[in-house]
Amino acid sequence: MKHYKIAVLAGDGIGPEITKEALKVLKVIEERNDVTFELMPASFGACAYFETGNAFPQATIDICDQADAILKGPIGLSHEEAKKIPIDQQPERGALLPMRRRYNTYANFRPVFLPKSLAHFSPLKPEIIGEGIDLIIVRELVGGLYFGEKEMGINDKGLRYVRETLEYDEEQIRRIMHEAFKLASKRRKLLHNIHKSNVLKSSVLWNEVMEEVAVEYPDVQVVNFLVDAAATALCLKPTQFDVMVMENMFGDILSDQGGGILGSLGLMPSACIGPDKAYYEPSHGSAPDIAGKNIANPYSMIGSVAMMLENSFDMMAEAKNVWEAMQGVFADGYSTADLSKPGSGVTMIGTEQFGDKVVEKLREMPKA
């Protein structure tokens, strides 16, 4: 019997609601497989700050250090509420970035997936969705502008100023490129390299290293795309993309656009992989506008569990079942509130019902 320790950081806003549904799914996976999961809950983000004065408290660090994998809900507060927390303890700066740094989770995989049969969820026309959207954004997660030195102050003209630095070394670029090329080799053998080398020197180095790495993957076709053009292309012809690789901030922005073309960020799970530790989280934030209403879509969190099964526990067959169970709930004509309007021919269900239906579907599936 395999035994895994999972740190469970439910987070803020809708985090606890969608985490609850993800844990229901994990329980069923335990029932169906020769595996036990030891869940280790810990507070992280704004809730942790209000409880302990620290957004990533030592007790949470200790739990994450011990864990085989970390399941993390979204963190954060509304713009107004966030002002109640000192800048350096606000959830991203105080918890998220330190966690990414601690575990060096440099490779962030964000699938953007919508089958043709669910084209009605997307704001794009059915002819643009074609046979379906199926791409993965590979985002460098521990470098670039988000991790560079930051400085705020008063300059010699007496004006408030800010300086943030965007820094990459070739090794940081090389390792994320290898991740992207390896993934592309397993899929359509097509890699879109997203950059801004017409303006940013960081992208000039990015592209140089990409070309060096490309030599090792001769069967992968590389297409270079400026990030601004890629934003348009994601709306006009998303089916041209399969694997897209990009630096940290570009990936943050374009992956939210990925959620937009699907119809909701609620369809965006992710995996953040480091050399020794990985954590899994929805790509979206804590959605304070809908928190506590049982209307959040837990697909992103349950999908993050599926990615954990794939990447941390080598349970590929059961991960596939989880994806199919979620798609099956939609295929049966159900929808969460983010994806459809009442009266649009689907049956509206809430967060808990979606989780329950995924669990029902999973239980009906043959065991791996």
Binding stretches for ligand NAD (CB under 6 A): 14, 18, 74-77, 82, 92, 96, 264-266, 281, 284-290, 296-297, 300, 338
Is 341 or 367 the residue whose CB approaches ligand NAD more closely? 341
Question: If residue 353 lies in a helix (H) or strand (E), which one and from where to where?
Answer: helix 351-364
Least separation in angstroms between residue 251's CB and ligand NAD is 12
Catalytic residue among 228, 237, 332, 367: 228
Q: 10 Å Cβ neighbour count for 120?
A: 16
Catalytic residue among 68, 134, 256, 356: 256
Instruction: Collect contacts of 214-222 with beta carbons under 8 A, ≥24 apart.
Output: 214/177, 214/181, 216/178, 216/181, 217/181, 217/182, 217/184, 217/185, 219/185, 219/189, 220/181, 220/184, 220/185, 220/189, 220/190, 220/191, 221/189, 221/190, 221/191, 222/191, 222/192, 222/193
* Cβ partners under 8 Å of residue 166, min gap 6: 144, 145, 148, 200, 202
Catalytic residue among 24, 72, 196, 361: 196
Least separation in angstroms between residue 72's CB and ligand NAD is 7
Is 92 or 356 the residue whose CB approaches ligand NAD more closely? 92
Number of separate helices (H) and strands (E) present in the chain: 14, 14
Is 76 or 328 the residue whose CB approaches ligand NAD more closely? 76
Angle between helices 299-311 and 15-32 in degrees, nearest 10: 40
Q: Answer yes or no: 49 catalytic.
A: no
Is 123 or 130 the residue whose CB approaches ligand NAD more closely? 123
Q: Token pair 């507060």 is at which residue?
A: 77
Is 318 or 338 the residue whose CB approaches ligand NAD more closely? 338
Least separation in angstroms between residue 174's CB and ligand NAD is 26
Q: Answer yes or no: 146 catalytic.
A: yes
Least separation in angstroms between residue 325's CB and ligand NAD is 17
The β-bridge relationship of strands 347-348 and 334-335 is: parallel
Q: Answer yes or no: 289 catalytic.
A: no
* Cβ partners under 8 Å of residue 193, min gap 6: 206, 207, 210, 222, 223, 224, 225, 245, 246
195: tokens are 């950059």
Q: Answer yes or no: 228 catalytic.
A: yes
Is 303 or 328 the residue whose CB approaches ligand NAD more closely? 303
Q: Answer yes or no: 103 catalytic.
A: no
CA–CA separation, 8 vs 67, rounded Å?
9
CA–CA separation, 41 vs 73, rounded Å?
11
Q: 10 Å Cβ neighbour count for 351?
A: 23
Least separation in angstroms between residue 187's CB and ligand NAD is 25
Least separation in angstroms between residue 107's CB and ligand NAD is 16
Catalytic residue among 49, 146, 279, 299: 146
Residues labelled catalytic: 146, 196, 228, 252, 256
